[in-house]
Amino acid sequence: MESDEMMELLVDAERLLGVLRVDQYQHLVRNLRVKVEKATNELIREKSQWQDRLEKKLACIAAEEAKLNDMKRAVMVENETSMKESQDVAGSEIRDALDKAEVTFKTEIELDVKHRWTLIQRAYLSKTETDV
């Protein structure tokens, strides 16, 4: 039973007892109605206070969540920036290493070609000398 229904029932009972002129019970029902009304009003007041406290606490939590989300976004951006910088540095180092390797390979190939050519020339000269 809701408090409004209970209060309505007690008011009706109090009136009925007044009509019936049963003062002793009318007085008891009136005291009961007053106590129920007082307890109900106190409950409503406390419920309102608890609701206010809850809303304030939830607002504080929401503000903290917003701060944490901002911090999280900042950390994510910082991490992405650091990763990009690291990738750029690593890419540059790899390109430098490849460039150096390319120069080394070209030099070795050129030297190898010259060496082979020299060997071919020597072989040809020695063959022509033996043929003569």
Per-residue pLDDT tens over the stretch 48-87:
999 999 999 999 999 999 999 999 999 999 999 999 999 9
Answer whether residue 104 shows pLDDT above 90: no
| Averaged pLDDT, 106-110 | 71
- List, in order, residues 6 or more apart from 37 with CB less than 8 Å away: 7
The kind and range of the H/E element at 87 are helix 23-131
Vertex 117 angle, CA 112 and 119, to 5°? 95
Give the three-state DSSP class for 118.
helix
Task: Give dist(CA 14, CA 31) in Å, integer.
Answer: 10
Answer whether residue 1 shows pLDDT above 70: no
Task: Give dist(CA 93, CA 25) in Å, integer.
Answer: 99
Confidence band for 127, pLDDT divided at 50, 70 and 90: low
Task: Give dist(CA 72, CA 111) in Å, integer.
Answer: 58
**Predicted local distance difference test score (pLDDT) of residue 128:** 66
Q: With contact defined as beta carbons under 8 Å apart, do 33 and 11 qualify?
A: yes
**Predicted local distance difference test score (pLDDT) of residue 131:** 64
Furthest C-alpha separation in the chain: 159
Confidence band for 110, pLDDT divided at 50, 70 and 90: confident
Please, what sign has the CA dihedral across residues 112, 114, 116, 119? negative
